[in-house]
Amino acid sequence: MRMFKERIPEPASELLDKLYLEMPRDGDLDEAANIAEAFGANVPGNTFLEIGCSDGRFSSEFARTYKQGQVIGIDTNPEAIARASHQNRGLPHLKFVQMSVYDLIAQQERLGKVYGIYCRQTLHHLNGLSEALRQMHEILLPGGTLILQDFDRELAGKEGYRCGLSPQQQQGLYQAIKQGKVEREIKRLGYQEQLQALTFFSILAAYDSTTIKRELEKKGLDCHVKKHPEQVSFKLIGIKPGNSSL
Protein backbone atom coordinates (compact mmCIF):
# COMPACT_ATOMS: atom_id res chain seq x y z
CA MET A 1 0.00 0.00 0.00
CA ARG A 2 1.49 3.31 -1.04
CA MET A 3 1.91 6.24 1.29
CA PHE A 4 -0.07 8.53 -1.05
CA LYS A 5 -2.44 6.53 -3.22
CA GLU A 6 -4.38 9.16 -5.12
CA ARG A 7 -3.00 11.59 -7.67
CA ILE A 8 -3.10 15.14 -6.32
CA PRO A 9 -2.63 18.04 -8.77
CA GLU A 10 0.20 20.43 -7.98
CA PRO A 11 -0.86 23.28 -5.68
CA ALA A 12 -1.06 26.76 -7.18
CA SER A 13 1.79 28.85 -5.78
CA GLU A 14 3.82 31.78 -7.07
CA LEU A 15 6.73 30.58 -4.96
CA LEU A 16 6.61 27.14 -6.58
CA ASP A 17 6.53 28.74 -10.04
CA LYS A 18 9.62 30.77 -9.16
CA LEU A 19 11.44 27.71 -7.80
CA TYR A 20 10.61 25.73 -10.93
CA LEU A 21 12.31 28.32 -13.14
CA GLU A 22 15.36 28.28 -10.85
CA MET A 23 15.76 24.49 -10.78
CA PRO A 24 19.14 23.33 -12.15
CA ARG A 25 18.91 21.55 -15.49
CA ASP A 26 22.49 20.43 -15.93
CA GLY A 27 21.52 17.36 -17.93
CA ASP A 28 19.80 19.30 -20.71
CA LEU A 29 22.88 19.59 -22.93
CA ASP A 30 23.64 15.87 -22.98
CA GLU A 31 19.95 15.03 -23.32
CA ALA A 32 19.62 17.28 -26.36
CA ALA A 33 22.23 15.21 -28.20
CA ASN A 34 20.43 11.98 -27.24
CA ILE A 35 17.06 13.27 -28.41
CA ALA A 36 18.54 14.58 -31.66
CA GLU A 37 19.83 11.06 -32.33
CA ALA A 38 16.42 9.55 -31.51
CA PHE A 39 14.70 11.86 -34.00
CA GLY A 40 17.20 10.92 -36.68
CA ALA A 41 18.35 13.06 -39.58
CA ASN A 42 17.26 16.66 -40.12
CA VAL A 43 14.13 16.90 -42.22
CA PRO A 44 14.01 20.16 -44.23
CA GLY A 45 10.93 22.28 -43.58
CA ASN A 46 9.63 20.28 -40.65
CA THR A 47 9.18 21.36 -37.04
CA PHE A 48 10.64 20.01 -33.82
CA LEU A 49 8.34 21.02 -30.95
CA GLU A 50 9.20 21.11 -27.25
CA ILE A 51 6.18 21.23 -24.97
CA GLY A 52 6.87 22.86 -21.61
CA CYS A 53 10.14 24.48 -22.66
CA SER A 54 10.59 26.62 -19.51
CA ASP A 55 13.65 28.87 -20.04
CA GLY A 56 14.40 27.28 -23.43
CA ARG A 57 17.71 25.70 -22.48
CA PHE A 58 16.91 22.36 -24.09
CA SER A 59 15.30 23.81 -27.23
CA SER A 60 18.25 26.10 -27.88
CA GLU A 61 20.76 23.28 -27.53
CA PHE A 62 18.68 21.03 -29.77
CA ALA A 63 18.46 23.85 -32.36
CA ARG A 64 22.24 23.80 -32.70
CA THR A 65 21.94 20.25 -34.05
CA TYR A 66 18.56 20.41 -35.80
CA LYS A 67 19.29 23.11 -38.39
CA GLN A 68 17.27 22.34 -41.51
CA GLY A 69 13.82 22.70 -39.97
CA GLN A 70 12.42 25.00 -37.30
CA VAL A 71 12.52 24.46 -33.53
CA ILE A 72 9.64 25.78 -31.44
CA GLY A 73 9.41 25.78 -27.67
CA ILE A 74 6.03 26.40 -26.05
CA ASP A 75 5.08 27.10 -22.45
CA THR A 76 2.08 28.64 -20.72
CA ASN A 77 4.25 30.69 -18.38
CA PRO A 78 4.82 34.16 -19.91
CA GLU A 79 7.88 34.77 -17.72
CA ALA A 80 9.47 31.54 -18.98
CA ILE A 81 8.81 32.48 -22.62
CA ALA A 82 10.20 35.97 -22.12
CA ARG A 83 13.33 34.57 -20.49
CA ALA A 84 13.77 31.93 -23.20
CA SER A 85 13.37 34.47 -25.99
CA HIS A 86 15.85 36.86 -24.39
CA GLN A 87 18.51 34.28 -23.53
CA ASN A 88 18.43 32.36 -26.80
CA ARG A 89 18.65 35.01 -29.49
CA GLY A 90 20.83 34.42 -32.53
CA LEU A 91 19.27 31.21 -33.88
CA PRO A 92 16.85 32.29 -36.64
CA HIS A 93 15.14 28.88 -36.86
CA LEU A 94 14.40 28.83 -33.11
CA LYS A 95 11.41 30.58 -31.55
CA PHE A 96 9.42 30.49 -28.32
CA VAL A 97 5.65 30.87 -28.11
CA GLN A 98 3.29 31.18 -25.17
CA MET A 99 0.85 28.37 -25.89
CA SER A 100 -1.04 25.60 -24.13
CA VAL A 101 -0.77 21.95 -25.10
CA TYR A 102 -4.56 22.02 -25.36
CA ASP A 103 -4.33 24.49 -28.26
CA LEU A 104 -1.97 22.50 -30.50
CA ILE A 105 -4.63 21.45 -33.01
CA ALA A 106 -6.08 24.96 -33.22
CA GLN A 107 -2.57 26.37 -33.76
CA GLN A 108 -1.37 23.65 -36.15
CA GLU A 109 -0.95 26.02 -39.10
CA ARG A 110 1.23 28.26 -36.95
CA LEU A 111 3.37 25.32 -35.83
CA GLY A 112 3.95 23.88 -39.30
CA LYS A 113 4.66 20.23 -40.10
CA VAL A 114 5.51 18.72 -36.72
CA TYR A 115 7.89 15.81 -37.22
CA GLY A 116 9.10 15.51 -33.62
CA ILE A 117 7.57 16.31 -30.22
CA TYR A 118 9.51 16.34 -26.97
CA CYS A 119 7.71 16.76 -23.64
CA ARG A 120 9.86 16.52 -20.52
CA GLN A 121 8.63 16.86 -16.94
CA THR A 122 5.44 18.52 -18.11
CA LEU A 123 2.71 15.87 -18.09
CA HIS A 124 2.39 15.96 -14.31
CA HIS A 125 1.47 19.66 -14.53
CA LEU A 126 -1.58 18.76 -16.64
CA ASN A 127 -4.99 17.76 -15.33
CA GLY A 128 -6.30 16.81 -18.78
CA LEU A 129 -3.88 14.02 -19.71
CA SER A 130 -6.09 12.32 -22.32
CA GLU A 131 -6.78 15.57 -24.16
CA ALA A 132 -3.10 16.54 -24.10
CA LEU A 133 -2.09 13.19 -25.61
CA ARG A 134 -4.83 13.53 -28.24
CA GLN A 135 -3.56 16.95 -29.25
CA MET A 136 0.04 15.72 -29.54
CA HIS A 137 -0.95 12.70 -31.60
CA GLU A 138 -3.17 14.74 -33.92
CA ILE A 139 -0.50 17.26 -34.97
CA LEU A 140 2.32 14.72 -35.31
CA LEU A 141 3.17 13.84 -38.91
CA PRO A 142 2.93 10.19 -40.00
CA GLY A 143 6.35 8.69 -39.37
CA GLY A 144 7.01 11.32 -36.68
CA THR A 145 8.38 10.69 -33.20
CA LEU A 146 6.92 11.57 -29.82
CA ILE A 147 9.20 11.45 -26.77
CA LEU A 148 7.77 11.82 -23.27
CA GLN A 149 9.78 11.91 -20.06
CA ASP A 150 8.22 12.37 -16.65
CA PHE A 151 7.81 11.04 -13.15
CA ASP A 152 6.09 7.66 -12.86
CA ARG A 153 3.67 6.93 -10.02
CA GLU A 154 4.23 3.21 -10.56
CA LEU A 155 7.79 3.66 -9.25
CA ALA A 156 6.88 5.69 -6.15
CA GLY A 157 8.06 4.19 -2.85
CA LYS A 158 5.70 2.59 -0.36
CA GLU A 159 7.04 4.51 2.64
CA GLY A 160 7.41 7.84 0.87
CA TYR A 161 8.71 9.27 -2.37
CA ARG A 162 12.39 9.34 -3.27
CA CYS A 163 12.70 13.10 -3.35
CA GLY A 164 15.19 13.76 -0.54
CA LEU A 165 12.61 14.63 2.10
CA SER A 166 11.83 12.40 5.08
CA PRO A 167 8.43 10.65 5.26
CA GLN A 168 7.54 13.03 8.09
CA GLN A 169 8.32 16.07 5.95
CA GLN A 170 6.32 14.60 3.09
CA GLN A 171 3.34 14.04 5.36
CA GLY A 172 3.58 17.66 6.49
CA LEU A 173 3.51 18.91 2.90
CA TYR A 174 0.67 16.53 2.08
CA GLN A 175 -1.38 17.96 4.92
CA ALA A 176 -0.45 21.49 3.83
CA ILE A 177 -2.02 20.79 0.42
CA LYS A 178 -5.19 19.54 2.07
CA GLN A 179 -5.36 22.62 4.29
CA GLY A 180 -4.42 25.14 1.59
CA LYS A 181 -1.27 26.20 3.47
CA VAL A 182 1.45 25.20 0.99
CA GLU A 183 3.13 28.61 0.74
CA ARG A 184 3.50 28.85 4.51
CA GLU A 185 4.90 25.34 4.78
CA ILE A 186 7.36 25.86 1.91
CA LYS A 187 8.72 29.08 3.40
CA ARG A 188 9.71 27.19 6.55
CA LEU A 189 12.12 25.03 4.55
CA GLY A 190 15.68 25.75 3.45
CA TYR A 191 16.36 26.33 -0.25
CA GLN A 192 17.52 22.77 -0.98
CA GLU A 193 14.51 21.34 0.83
CA GLN A 194 12.27 23.67 -1.18
CA LEU A 195 13.61 22.15 -4.39
CA GLN A 196 13.02 18.69 -2.93
CA ALA A 197 9.47 19.73 -2.05
CA LEU A 198 8.97 20.76 -5.68
CA THR A 199 9.95 17.25 -6.72
CA PHE A 200 7.60 15.79 -4.09
CA PHE A 201 4.65 17.77 -5.45
CA SER A 202 5.57 16.73 -9.00
CA ILE A 203 5.62 13.02 -8.13
CA LEU A 204 2.38 13.39 -6.21
CA ALA A 205 0.80 14.86 -9.38
CA ALA A 206 2.39 12.33 -11.74
CA TYR A 207 0.58 9.76 -13.87
CA ASP A 208 1.65 6.17 -14.36
CA SER A 209 3.53 5.21 -17.49
CA THR A 210 1.31 2.18 -18.19
CA THR A 211 -1.77 4.38 -18.58
CA ILE A 212 0.08 6.80 -20.86
CA LYS A 213 1.45 3.99 -23.03
CA ARG A 214 -1.97 2.35 -23.28
CA GLU A 215 -3.66 5.58 -24.38
CA LEU A 216 -1.08 6.24 -27.08
CA GLU A 217 -1.19 2.68 -28.38
CA LYS A 218 -4.98 2.99 -28.72
CA LYS A 219 -4.30 5.90 -31.05
CA GLY A 220 -1.99 3.70 -33.13
CA LEU A 221 1.46 4.76 -31.94
CA ASP A 222 4.17 2.13 -31.65
CA CYS A 223 5.49 2.79 -28.13
CA HIS A 224 8.49 1.71 -26.10
CA VAL A 225 8.89 2.61 -22.42
CA LYS A 226 12.05 2.54 -20.33
CA LYS A 227 11.70 2.99 -16.58
CA HIS A 228 14.28 4.63 -14.30
CA PRO A 229 13.46 3.55 -10.73
CA GLU A 230 16.17 5.64 -9.07
CA GLN A 231 14.75 8.81 -10.64
CA VAL A 232 11.14 7.63 -10.20
CA SER A 233 10.73 8.39 -13.89
CA PHE A 234 10.10 6.92 -17.33
CA LYS A 235 10.96 7.69 -20.93
CA LEU A 236 8.52 6.81 -23.68
CA ILE A 237 9.32 6.88 -27.39
CA GLY A 238 6.34 6.60 -29.71
CA ILE A 239 6.39 6.41 -33.52
CA LYS A 240 3.33 7.37 -35.53
CA PRO A 241 2.80 4.90 -38.38
CA GLY A 242 3.06 6.16 -41.93
CA ASN A 243 5.36 8.06 -44.21
CA SER A 244 6.52 11.51 -43.12
CA SER A 245 6.59 12.67 -46.75
CA LEU A 246 2.80 12.36 -46.98
Domain extent for 214: 25-154+207-239
CATH of the domain at 222: 3.40.50.150
Residue 79 has pLDDT above 80, yes or no: yes
pLDDT for the residue numbered 129: 96
Query: Is position 74 within any domain?
Result: yes
The arithmetic mean of pLDDT across residues 22-38, rounded, is 67
> In angstroms, rounded to a whole number, what is the distance separating the alpha carbons of residues 90 and 144?
27
More reliable by pLDDT, 15 or 53 = 53
What are 18-27's pLDDT values in tens digits?
887 777 665 5
Query: Is position 15 within any domain?
Result: no
What are 200-246's pLDDT values in tens digits?
999 999 999 999 999 999 999 999 999 998 888 999 999 999 876 54
Q: Is the pTM of this model over 0.85?
A: yes
More reliable by pLDDT, 113 or 30 = 113
The arithmetic mean of pLDDT across residues 141-152, rounded, is 94
Least confident of 59-68, 73-82, 122-131, 180-189: 59-68
Please state, in angstroms and as integers, the Cα–Cα distance from residue 132 to each residue in 191, 237, 244, following that order: 32, 16, 22
**Into how many domains does the chain fold?**
1
The arithmetic mean of pLDDT across residues 117-135, rounded, is 95
Query: Is position 215 within any domain?
Result: yes
Residue (of 161, 145, 171) closest to 203 by Cα position: 161
| Angle formed at CA 122 by CA 116 and CA 125, multiple of 5 degrees | 145
pLDDT for the residue numbered 78: 93
The arithmetic mean of pLDDT across residues 178-192, rounded, is 90
Query: Is position 105 within any domain?
Result: yes
More reliable by pLDDT, 105 or 157 = 105
